[in-house]
Amino acid sequence: MIKKYSNRKIADIFYEIGQMLELVGENRFKTIAYENAAGIIKVYPEELYDIYHRDGLRGLTKINGIGESIASKAEALITKGKLPFYEQLKKKVDPIALKLVGITGIGPQTALELVRILKPKSLVDLKAKLKKERPGDNFGSKQIQNILTELSERRHEKRYLLSEVEPIAQRIVTWLLERPEVTQADPVGSLRRRKETIGDIDLVCASKNRKATVEAFTQAGFTERIVVAGLGLTTIVHESGFQVDLELVEPADYGALLQHFTGGKEHNVALRTWAQTKGWTLSEKGIENIKTGRTKRFKSEKSFYKALGMKWMPAELRENRGEIEAALADELPRLVDKNDIVADLHMHTDASDGKLSLEEMAEAAYKNGYEYIAITDHSQGAGRGLGPRQLVKHIEKIKKLDQKYKQKKFRILAGVEANIRPDGTIDVADKILKEFDWVIASIHSSFRFSPSVMTKRLVKAIENPYVDCIGHPATRKLLSRESINVNWATIYETAAKAKTLLEINADPHRLDLADTRIQAAKESGVKFAINTDAHAASDFEYLSYGLAMARRGWLEKKDVVNTKSYQDFSNWLKIRRS
Question: Rounded CA gap, 334 and 13, in Å?
Answer: 42
Question: Rounded CA gap, 331 and 325, in Å?
Answer: 8
- For residue 320, the model assigns a pLDDT of 97
pLDDT band at residue 104 using 50, 70 and 90 as cut-offs: low
Domains of the chain from N-terminus onward: 7-152 (1.10.150.110), 160-249 (3.30.460.10), 256-328 (3.30.210.10), 338-577 (3.20.20.140)
Element (H, E) at 236: strand 233-238
Task: State the average pLDDT over residues 218-229.
Answer: 93
Q: What is the pLDDT of residues 449-460, one digit of tens each?
A: 999 999 999 999
Cis omega (within 30 of 0) on the bond before 98?
no
pLDDT band at residue 45 using 50, 70 and 90 as cut-offs: confident
> pLDDT averaged over the chain?
92
- For residue 415, the model assigns a pLDDT of 98
Q: What is the pLDDT of residues 133-192, one digit of tens each?
A: 777 666 777 777 777 776 765 544 578 999 999 999 999 999 999 999 999 999 999 999
* Whether pTM exceeds 0.75: yes
Task: State the average pLDDT over residues 8-18.
Answer: 88
Helix axes 515-523, 543-552, angle to 10 degrees: 60
Question: Rounded CA gap, 317 and 305, in Å?
Answer: 14
- For residue 131, the model assigns a pLDDT of 81
pLDDT band at residue 480 using 50, 70 and 90 as cut-offs: confident
In the predicted model, is pLDDT for residue 263 greater than 60? Answer: yes
Question: Rounded CA gap, 230 and 384, in Å?
Answer: 55
In contact, 191 and 204? CB cutoff 8 Å:
no
- For residue 411, the model assigns a pLDDT of 98
Task: State the average pLDDT over residues 343-364.
Answer: 95
The H-assigned helical ranges of 156-300 are 162-177, 189-192, 210-218, 254-262, 265-276
In contact, 161 and 179? CB cutoff 8 Å:
no
- For 527, phi and psi rounded to 5 degrees? -110, 165
Question: Rounded CA gap, 208 and 229, in Å?
Answer: 17
pLDDT band at residue 346 using 50, 70 and 90 as cut-offs: very high
Question: Rounded CA gap, 505 and 501, in Å?
Answer: 12
Distances (CA, A) of 547 to 80, 167, 528, 557: 39, 16, 11, 11
> If we measure between CA atoms, which residue out of 2, 7, 3 comes closest to residue 50?
7
Q: What is the pLDDT of residues 403-445, one digit of tens each?
A: 999 999 999 999 999 999 999 999 999 999 999 999 999 999 8
In contact, 123 and 152? CB cutoff 8 Å:
no
480 versus 72: the higher-pLDDT residue is: 72
In contact, 118 and 97? CB cutoff 8 Å:
no
